[in-house]
Amino acid sequence: MTSTRPAAYRGRFAPSPTGPLHLGSLVAALASWLDARSAGGAWLLRIEDIDPPREQPGASAAIIHSLEQHGLHPDGDILWQSRRGAAYNAALDLLEAGGHLFSCACSRRQLDASGSCQRGCRDRQPPAAGKPSALRVAVPADFTSEWDDPWQGRQYWALGQQLTDFIVRRKDGLYAYQLAVVVDDAHQRITDVVRGADLLDSTPRQHLLQTLLGYPQPRYAHIPVLADSQGQKLSKQNLAPALDDAAAPDNLRRALHYLGQPAPPAGVNSAAELLEFALRHWSPHSLSRGPSVTVGH
């Protein structure tokens, strides 16, 4: 993969502070770090703290500390989404000026299975007075998204047929993930996004926003997520145990195993040594293809 990339590779890791890092988080962080460093590029850290009701006190500091203990040090300052409201508002203004937004006051029960509005809000402006409204992007009926994903194969999404709209600002006034991530990827000049396959269906939506806002499109690569024996993603919501930062070398060895990478020799013990070995032997083609890898296998 790296042979076709320009020298100005810029990757990123962008966790939400809804809890401490777990093994699945470390696998994603390590994969993005290795891919960036193997290309001689920069690896940036973004804290996606735009959803205060879901954030856990102290989680941001715990995430940063865990990354440091595992030797994963970002290039440059951390970007905090909570400080980026002006940029998100500017993007919303551009979308509004282009006629791409509509207000929707529907409840979740009034939406279809994909989360799209089904009650005519797209054609009814303004919404009913006195009701809190979300801002949604009207997806063009003919919009398609295509890319070659190294670990998920060729992707083709007829987004205009699969999803008619999606939220960019919530009813409570908070900015939605899809908007914030697109604005910040452009701001940080991200060229390559390496993340979990659970975010695969976000890429077409982000492609659309990048098209509407005139932003460049990064290359996207989605690694298999870690799943338990029941097929559930290892996540904070599923009570995945937090990383033990004191066991960073063991954690890195496990992460490299799930990434399909060569096992470091027994004498390689520190986080720095393990990362040096992993970088020398980084083989993205050794990763499993598909949406998930079962923990314990």
Domains along the chain with CATH numbers: 2-294 (3.40.50.620)
Q: What is the 3-state secondary structure of 162-195? A: HCCEEEEECCCCCECHHHHHHHHHHHCCCCEEEE
- Give residue-wise pLDDT tens across range 76-110: 999 999 999 999 999 999 999 999 999 998 888 88
Report the predicted TM-score, pTM, of the whole model to 2 decimal places. 0.92
Distance CA 54, CA 240 (A): 16
Query: Is it the case that residue 276 has pLDDT exceeding 70?
Result: yes
Bond prior to 126 in cis (omega within 30° of 0): yes
Cβ neighbours of residue 85 closer than 8 Å, sequence gap 6 or more: 175
Q: What is the pLDDT of residue 114?
A: 84
Six-digit token string for 261: 């990478």
User: Average pLDDT of 109-116?
Assistant: 86
State the average pLDDT for the chain.
91
Burial of 250-288, coded b for 16+ CB within 10 Å and e otherwise, reads ebbbbbbebbebeebeeebeebebbbebbeeebebeebe
* Per-residue model confidence (pLDDT) at position 3: 40
Query: What's the pLDDT at 129?
Result: 62
pLDDT in tens, 42-79: 999 999 999 999 999 999 999 999 999 999 999 999 99
**Above 70 in pLDDT, residue 6?**
no
> From the CA atom positions of the chain, what is the Rg in Å?
20
Q: Evaluate if residue 4 carries a pLDDT over 60.
A: no
pLDDT score, position 231: 61
pLDDT in tens, 135-159: 999 999 999 999 999 999 999 999 9
Q: How many residues does the chain have?
A: 297
pLDDT digits (tens, 9 = 90+) for 149-200: 999 999 999 999 889 899 999 999 999 999 999 999 999 999 999 999 999 9
